[in-house]
Structure 1
Amino acid sequence: MVCNRCLLVVRQTLQALNFDVKNIGLGWVEVGPEPNPDQLHAIASAFKVVGFELIDDYKTKLVEQVRNLITETVQYSDLSQLNINFSTLLTEKLQKPYPYLSNLFSEQEGNTIEHYIIQQKVEKIKELMEYGDLNLNEIALKMGYSSSAHLSAQFKKITGFSPSQYRNSKSKRKALDEL
């Protein structure tokens, strides 16, 4: 789950199966009563219909938590105000050493955490450019870059376009769950 609409769909799906959703967040949910194996199968089937999957493997859950923390931080925080780096954030929130998280993420995703963070940032930059309220220097500051040149270099490395070329192109943003 990568957005508030995802949370809504998960909540509605579980409620339709007569579960009480006690607590829900990006990548996790608490329900009552505790589902039995048949109910877990029904939940998994219902989730599959709406494009989600039920994750019960510990390592897969941990990787999903890493993805969700990064997505939530990049998409919903002002990174210029965040006085912490991602390795520290992930270590503190997940209570696991960063090298372990990094190796597990790379093993499961075929990509590094750092590259995933850059992909998330690029999609947020595209969104901010489409709104047109901020210039590139302001976007760079908001996204935690040291300069607009650094932002532009990473942007071009991921998209193949400079930010100004992207603005003038017909390219579209990716859905966050496609990253």
Structure 2
Amino acid sequence: MKLLIKGMVCDRCIYFLSEEFPKLGLEISDIRLGEVILKETDEITMEEEVIRAMLQNNGFDLLYSKDQKMIELIKTAVENGIQKQLDTGAAVKFSAFISNELHKEYDSLSALFSSLEGYTLEKFIISKKIEKVKELLVYTDQSLSDIAYALGYGSPAYLSNQLKKYTGFTSSHYKKIRHEKMTNIINHS
């Protein structure tokens, strides 16, 4: 995640912030005048307000460009598209969905996303869908087939392969986690 920092004007600022971000549990991928790039993690990320408070307490602030705002709108559109698939059972063509939601050409949105985020919009969509798959496998009794079709995958086998590729685990691993959670709930009742 790329942050634009107002007031970051010298090497001491770089040094200071390179010490402060890790205190918040955030790992820096790159830092230069006016910019901090944080490493992406699968864990819940720090709330923007906490980062802003740390920066403001030390004489800095976050800057937002219209491009960064657009990235947030793209991410929200992806989340909405995934939820629409689950709610309606209808496949969503994300390129058309995002383009329609934001009233912009998909190719330009995709290029903007890649340039600011450092990975493709397609990879982001896949990672969000995989997160949802993991959630559904652990917290519902839906089968991989049901989930695959609900999220617009052509086949359960394709989803299974993608899950293994992106997480290193099969669906049975997540079903096992569900079973363990259910067993713990029953044993503690």
TM-score (norm 2): 0.57
Please give the per-residue CA displacement for 1:123-159, whole angstroms capped at 9, x wherever unaligned.
Answer: 1111111123211111111111111001011111110
Q: What is aligned with 2:138?
A: 130
Q: What is aligned with 1:67?
A: 75
* Cα pair 1:79 1:143 within 8 Å, conserved: no
2-side partners of 1:151 and 1:64: how far apart? 26
Q: What is aligned with 2:52?
A: 48
Which runs of 5 or more structure 1 residues have no equivalent in the other structure?
A: 1-43, 171-179
Structure 2 CA distance for partners of 1:70 and 1:134, relative to 1, 3 Å: same
- Secondary structure of 2:154's counterpart equals coil
Identity of paired residues, percent? 36
* Cα pair 2:91 2:150 within 8 Å, conserved: no
- Secondary structure of 2:75's counterpart equals helix
Q: What is aligned with 1:106?
A: 114
User: Is 1:95 aligned to 2:99, yes or no?
Assistant: no
Which runs of 5 or more structure 2 residues have no equivalent in the other structure?
A: 1-47, 55-60, 179-189
Q: What is aligned with 2:159?
A: 151
Which stretches of structure 1, 4 residues or longer, exceed 6 Å deviation after superposition? 44-47
1-side partners of 2:80 and 2:53: how far apart? 25
2-side partners of 1:104 and 1:123: how far apart? 23
Alpha-carbon distance, 1:46 to partner: 7.5
2-side partners of 1:46 and 1:122: how far apart? 28
Structure 2 CA distance for partners of 1:46 and 1:114, relative to 1, 3 Å: closer
Alpha-carbon distance, 1:45 to partner: 6.6
Structure 2 CA distance for partners of 1:54 and 1:76, relative to 1, 3 Å: farther
**Cα-Cα RMSD:** 2.8
TM-score (norm 1): 0.60
Please give the per-residue CA displacement for 1:6-49, whole angstroms capped at 9, x wherever unaligned.
Answer: xxxxxxxxxxxxxxxxxxxxxxxxxxxxxxxxxxxxxx978834
1:7-26 aligned at under 5 Å gives the runs none
* Cα pair 2:148 2:155 within 8 Å, conserved: yes
Structure 2 CA distance for partners of 1:54 and 1:81, relative to 1, 3 Å: farther
Q: Give the counterpart letter for 1:111 in structure 2.
A: Y
- Secondary structure of 1:78's counterpart equals helix
- Of the two structures, which has the highest relative contact order with CA contacts closer than 8 Å and spacing of 6 or more? 1
User: Is 1:57 aligned to 2:61, yes or no?
Assistant: no
Would you say how many aligned residue pairs link Structure 1 and Structure 2?
Answer: 125
